[in-house]
Structure 1
Amino acid sequence: MAAVMPAPAASRLLLSGNEAVARAVWEAGVKVAAAYPGTPATEMLEVIATYPDLYAEWSVNEKVSLEVAIGAAYAGSRAFCCMKHVGMNVASDALMTLTLTGVVGGLVIAIADDVGLSSSQNEQDSRYWGRFAHVPVFEPADSQEAYAMTLAAFELSEQFEVPVILRMTTRINHVKALVTVGERQPRTGKGFQKSPGRFVMVPGNAGKRIPLMFERDGRLREQAEISPYNVLETGTDRRVGFITSGPAYMHVREAFPDAPVLKLGFSCPVPVERCRALAALVDQVVVVEEVEPLVETELKAAGLPVIGKAILPVQGELSPAVLRPAIARLLGEPVPPAPPVAAQIFPRPPTMCVACPHLGVYYTLSQVRNLNISGDIGCYTLGAGHPWNALDTCVSMGASMGIALGMDKGRGEADQDKRVVAVIGDSTFLHMGMQGLLDMVYNKGNVTVLLLDNRAVGMTGGQDNPGNGFNIHGDETPRVDFAKLCEALGVKKERIHTVNPYELPVLFKTVREEVKVPEVSVIITDQPCVLTKAYHKLKPYAVEDDKCTGCGNCLEVGCPAIHVTRRDQAVKPNGRTVDLAFVRIESSVCTGCGLCLQPCAPDAIQHWVPSAPVNFMRPGCTGGGCA
């Protein structure tokens, strides 16, 4: 990527929260930044990588990215790491010991919580990591604060020699606002100073560091009480006061502009005395927090009579439409009418892209009977939906492997004749799937693994990974050979097959044969994601109307370029009624992959030959990739 030109001092830019953090990371003099892609955090590192004078990398998983940042901070340089909320689950092993060693150079960890489940398998509150790991937490409410708090977090990190968490949510990550920015302040790392008693965390050394951690907690509590990011707004309507943080503050201020509010920007440790000051001003205190009752519980333990989740929901965003009726009920006032329901538009169920290489895989799995299919995190999770219905589980990154082995070893009476299949993508396999395959081989599982190599981290926007041979800047790097890697993990060479997923007969035959083999086998599909530059379009196809019989076989492939134009019914000679679906192909978006051609019984699908200039009035939506 080309480096961006630094903006002059004190200029104003329209930035999302992710872009604002990236700008502050660069200005703070950070030398090393690392991450693994994950919505809504992805853009932070993507933007950081466009700035000069620092090192940025996509790591194979979040744990490795944090360890890279830790190494840089140990060496005295400023370092940055970012991830989505579930990524911290992966990185937490390193975090929980890092809190004992502390850091030398400033280290900031940005965690993006997906409040409202826009693109995640759970709704997790990352503020708990501050309490669990004994580290401070900042919570910005807009892009300007995301920028300012990132800079402040580096200063605090170095002052207290502690990593600092910047807790963001989707509402901050992806919403843009004007941000006043400055210029980069170059910094020189001190270099790594050997200190085994501090950096070698064997039990004897770790035990000595724990009292230091608790002493640091006390100093951080004092800092939180005087932090300029914890702001008490006195207001004029003293019936209810609010304690809140992050984007929930914006919702509170919009819903109750005259109410006293304590806005927690430096939210961990909780500034209890500031909270007491608010409580002294009002009749009742309501804690508005997304999503867990964390601050509420701490304040109740400190003896403050606050109200929270007794009147507010424990999931989703706390918008004004949620807050107003809750407070009206608390005050015994008439509940305001619900806002008008937005006009319903046509449904757009999640689906894969036109010509996605995963389409043929799920079409094949939907045609093979007697399977239990363990899935994973990625575009291919959509295989659980219509028309394939070919995915039975999805839990976490890499879990398809261990779950498949457990399905095999834990077979019930009804599963004795079932074959177990695990589906995993290339980046997910490198992230956390390799260990599962090794365990599967070591423990002699009977599982067929479908390793879907589309040469990209597809669901988060097509980022590079070790499987496609390019780094974050597009520079060539060594590319993983998945067949050799699987063989090195113990899979027999004759049980490893590389298949073109667009060749349905070959794919179908390979799957049918391998699921019958009572040992671990791996089928690797090897075609690139259609949204990357590695994919090359072919001549599109079209349906010849006079040949289409309405059999609907092509629809079972699931390509969103195929549209039903007319439905009908027919009565067969045996008296059975069958449903018919006559179709057309949106030739302007068809890439000519040929998947629909293969199940078409009447050969009604042929290469498209325009008889008139192409009409591009339709939006060329590919049906996916926006997650």
Structure 2
Amino acid sequence: MERKLFLGDEAIAQGAIDGGLSGLYAYPGTPSTEIMEYIQSSKEAREKNIHNVWSTNEKTAMEAALGMSYAGKRAMVCFKHVGLNVAADCFMNASITGVNGGLVVVSADDPSMHSSQNEQDSRYYAKFAMIPILEPSNQQEAYDMAYSAFELSEKFRVPVMIRITTRMAHSRAGVATKAKKEQNGLKLPANPRQFVLLPAIARKNYKTLLATQEPMVKDSENSAFNQLVDGPNKKLGIIASGIAYNYLMENFDGVSPYPVLKVCQYPLPYKQVEALYNQCDELLIMEEGYPIIEEMIKGFLAVGKPIHGRLDGTLPRDGELTPAIVAKGLGMPVEEGQPIPEEVVMPRPPALCNGCGHRDVYADLLEAILEYGEGRVFADIGCYTLGALPPFNAINTCVDMGASITMAKGASDAGLVPAVAVIGDSTFTHSGMTGLLDAVIENTPITVVISDNSTTGMTGGQSSNAYGRLVDIVTGLGVHPDHIRVIIPLKKNHEENIRIIKEELAYNGVSVIIPQRECIQTAARRKKAEAKSKE
């Protein structure tokens, strides 16, 4: 047994390696990205031949992980919470197919939206799919859960979700590792029709899933991750899940005067919940994200006592919890400093890097489209989303991965011509290709700008599956070669680029402009690595 200092993401990665992982599938998205990056840099993972290549999107990652499970090996798939939306089709059906080898789904939620479009809570997805959830309260539990989750998955023959949040993913603590398990051997499903979801088979599989629900609850009730700890003051009972339990213990220096139920494995341990409810005058529920525990408790208890939490305003309905917020919910005094005056420290919104090619793309596009008026640029998820801010104020939408092209198409169908989509190279292969095909089928008059910086820049410079393939992909989707224009976004090319963009804006059909210029950050790292290799 060794002790190592790990981020929560790294603890999950090492726990999976030690737990017999054969393949990790993922698409980068903060705060989940470091799980894949840790395994990609792990000598041990290379020696064990653990698959660790970024997938094109979360849906393909989920499906590939399920394929590895089909072959009997242990697989993990990782993404951020909005990535689970992309993977949802396979995710939901995987609970009906069941698994062969253990399958673990890590969904990293982002309460307070530090780098996300919303605050959604992945626990609802897992409850919807009727599968177990593991929610670590610290880095040691993150490791332990990843280590044991494959066995839990194989025990109930269903995927298991590990749900983390930003603070868990990106904070460090000492972690004790365990004995390493061997990888599973290749073994096909005993039932050759298990994964064939024809209605007659799916109905049988669904009954099997329903039959596992009671055993899952009993497993939670006996889990070491769930603990009911007594306290002398029965005026209040506290249920704390995941990292909220850490915040609670921080306020009490590790010993609560109130009875506390720590919930880190779901389904809810109903017996412990009832035991806490029966001995206390009222309950306070502390959980990161949505009030799912609070809602479930009110659904199965004959509620006569007050139950406090996010629903009644004892804790804020939005945002992540903090020790100070937890203290306020407990009625404890909180020392808060004075707000920082804006005249002393002005807000500094994020901005495109100096030397970023996206800057020149927007400079070219804004001048070229000026004659048509505002409100015509549909954008996507990536660094270029910062074009919404001054000095550019260049884009009008940013909804989800790939939506730029399809929203531009819909607006064009409504009569907004020309309509422009701005999308990055990695996001295009993630989920922009199908939208472009829709436009090609109808020859919709839209102009698609694929701003190609040769990387997945926003999440730290991971490899882009579009690298060196964009023209071939766009041609293969049916865009006429005369209207696939590759440009270099540099100031010296400004006038020429404006001319090309204007030509395509005037074209009554689908056109694609590909500005190509390497990300300034990855270019700097590449040059540094090249110089070092010559030493």
TM-score, length-scaled by structure 2: 0.91
Q: Displacement of 1:351 after TM fit?
A: 0.5
Structure 1 match to 2:22: 31
Q: 1:499 aligns with which of 477, 480, 487?
A: 487
1:311-364 Cα distance to aligned partner (Å, 9 max, x none): 222211122322333343xxxx9x756444357634322111121111101112
Contact 1:136 1:269 in 2 (8 A): yes
- Quote the Cα distance in structure 2 between the aligned partners of 1:183 and 1:79: 19
Aligned to 1:83: 79
Q: CA deviation at 1:234?
A: 1.5
The residue that corresponds to 1:586 in the other structure is: none
The amino acid that maps onto 1:191 is K
Alignment of 1:138 with 2:134, yes or no, is yes
List per-residue Cα deviations over 1:449-504 (Å, max 9, x = no partner): 00011110000000002222xxxxxxxxxx42x12211221211111100001122
Matching residue of 2:473: 485
Contact 2:99 2:157 in 1 (8 A): yes
AA paired with 1:207?
A: R
CA displacement, residues 345-403 of structure 1 (integer Å, 9 cap, x when unaligned) = 34322111121111101112332312510000000000001100000000000000110
CA distance in 1, matches of 2:189, 2:33: 33
Paired residues of 1:34 and 1:56 also in contact (CA < 8 A): yes
Match of 1:448 in 2: 447
- Partner of residue 530, structure 2: none
| Pairing partner for 1:111 from 104, 107, 129 | 107
Offset at 1:200? 0.8
Contact 1:375–1:400 (Cα < 8 Å) also in 2: yes
* Deviation per residue, 1:202-237 (Å, 9 max, x gap): 111111111100001111011111111101121233
Greater displacement, 435-444 / 162-171: 435-444
CA contact (8 A) 1:19 1:43 kept: yes
For the 8 Å contact 1:109–1:164, the answer to whether it is kept is yes
Query: SS state of the match for residue 199, structure 1?
Result: coil
- Decide which structure has greater helix share: 2
Give the equivalent residue in structure 2 for 1:359.
359
**1:403 equivalent in alignment to 2:407:** yes
2:180 to 179, 184, 208: 184
Alpha carbons 1:381, 1:394 under 8 Å: kept: yes
1:350 aligns to what?
Answer: 350
- Contiguous gaps of at least 5 residues in structure 2: 528-535
Letter in 2 for 1:317: E
Match of 2:315 in 1: 312
Cα distance in structure 1, aligned partners of 2:524 and 2:334: 54
The CA deviation string for residues 127-182 of structure 1, in whole angstroms up to 9 with x for no partner, is: 00111111100000111110011112111111111110000000100000011113
Is structure 2 residue 522 aligned with structure 1 residue 526? Answer: no
The 2-side partners of 1:44 and 1:524 are apart by 31
Distance 1:185 1:282 in 2: 43
Which letter maps to 2:401? M
Alignment of 1:35-184 (within 5 A): 35-49=26-40, 50=42, 51-52=45-46, 53=48, 54-184=50-180
The Cα offsets for residues 549-593 of structure 1, whole Å up to 9 and x where unpaired, read as xxxxxxxxxxxxxxxxxxxxxxxxxxxxxxxxxxxxxxxxxxxxx
**Counterparts in 2 of 1:371-410, with a 5 A limit?**
371=374, 372-410=376-414
Q: Look up the SS of the partner of 2:466 in the other structure.
A: coil
Partner SS for 2:339: coil
Distance 1:325 1:130 in 2: 30
Match of 2:429, SS? Answer: helix
Residue identity in the other structure for 1:423: V
Instruction: Note the residue ranges of structure 1 that are not aligned, 5 or more in a row.
Output: 1-9, 469-478, 538-627
Return structure 1 stretches of 4+ with deviation > 6 angstroms: 534-537
The answer to whether the 8 A contact 1:458-1:529 is kept is yes
Q: 2-side partners of 1:34 and 1:457: how far apart?
A: 16
Shift of 1:536: 7.9
Change (3 A) 1:336 1:48: closer
1:444: how far off? Answer: 2.5
Amino acid at match of 1:312: L
TM-score scaled by length of structure 1: 0.78
Q: How does 1:151-300 map to 2 (within 5 A)?
A: 151-193=147-189, 195-256=191-252, 257-266=256-265, 268-300=266-298
**Which segment is superposed worse, 347-356 or 55-64?**
347-356
Of 297, 300, 303, the residue aligned with 1:302 is 300
Worse-superposed segment, 47-56 or 395-404: 47-56
1:193 Cα deviation (Å)? 3.5
Q: Percent identity?
A: 40
**Equivalent position SS for 2:521:** coil
- In the other structure, the counterpart of 1:510 is 500
1:107 corresponds to which letter in structure 2?
Answer: L
Q: Distance in 2 between matches of 1:214 and 1:483?
A: 48
Conserved? CA contact 2:97–2:195, under 8 Å: yes
Q: Is the 8 A contact 1:394 1:400 kept in 2?
A: yes
Counterparts of 1:159 and 1:340 in 2: how far apart (Å)? Answer: 53
Match of 1:420 in 2: 419
Give 1:438's aligned residue.
437
Deviation at 1:249, TM superposition (A): 1.2
Contact map agreement 1:528 1:534 (CA 8 A) in 2: no
Q: Is the 8 A contact 2:100 2:189 kept in 1?
A: no
Instruction: Give the whole-Å Cα distance in 1 for the aligned partners of 2:146 and 2:525.
Output: 38
Q: 1:535 to 1:420 in 2, by over 3 A?
A: farther
Rounded Cα–Cα distance in structure 2 between residues aligned with 1:25 and 1:215: 28
